[in-house]
Amino acid sequence: MFKFRKSKGFTLIELIMVVVILGILAAIAIPKYIDLSTNAKINATKSSLGTIRAAIAMSYAQVAASGATPTYPTLAALTATGATSLFVGGAMPTDSYFNLSTTIASANNPIAAGDFTNVGGWVYNATTGEIRFNGTGDGTGHTW
């Protein structure tokens, strides 16, 4: 009587099909992942910008509530660290593209295109309290 041995393992064709399927999935998934990480950076930077704007507004409101003439914080007060910082954690939030909290002063109202160096961080006008992202991280040339 003949005994048939059960084969253990996969045939070459089966392995090639698995590799082809994985290649197709990777070709679809990698661009989606890159797009998602770009969107995450945009949204994290916008969130940091919102935090900074809230701190500026609170500082303005505190000065107004004290009875003094309301003013926005100076660039030095906005970027102060440690116990004198306007932010929880003692430091100004960083942008998510360049991981910088560097802040450039602007005298233009509103902040003009020539004020941006597009190297990361923020552009701030202490007269108006306007602050924007110093970069074009979304790939469209927009600054927030």
Mean pLDDT of 99-125: 90
- Residue 63 domain-assigned? yes
- Residue 81 domain-assigned? yes
∠ CA 58-134-44 to the nearest 5 degrees? 65
Dist. CA 67–CA 26, nearest whole Å: 62
CB 119 within 8 A of CB 99: no
> Mind listing the pLDDT tens digit for each residue in 39-90?
888 899 999 999 999 999 999 999 999 999 999 999 999 999 998 899 988 9
Half-sphere exposure of 40 (CA within 13 A, CB side): 6
- Residue 77 domain-assigned? yes
Q: What is the pTM of this model?
A: 0.75
- The kind and range of the H/E element at 114 are none
Mean pLDDT of 14-38: 88
- Residue 96 domain-assigned? yes
Residue 76 has what pLDDT? 93
Residue 5 has what pLDDT? 67
- Residue 139 domain-assigned? no
- Residue 7 domain-assigned? no
Give how many domains the chain has, as a whole number.
Answer: 1
Query: Residue 115 has which token pair?
Result: 């004020």
- Residue 109 domain-assigned? yes
Mean pLDDT of 1-23: 83
- Residue 5 domain-assigned? no
- The residue range of the domain holding 71 is 13-133
- The kind and range of the H/E element at 123 are strand 122-125
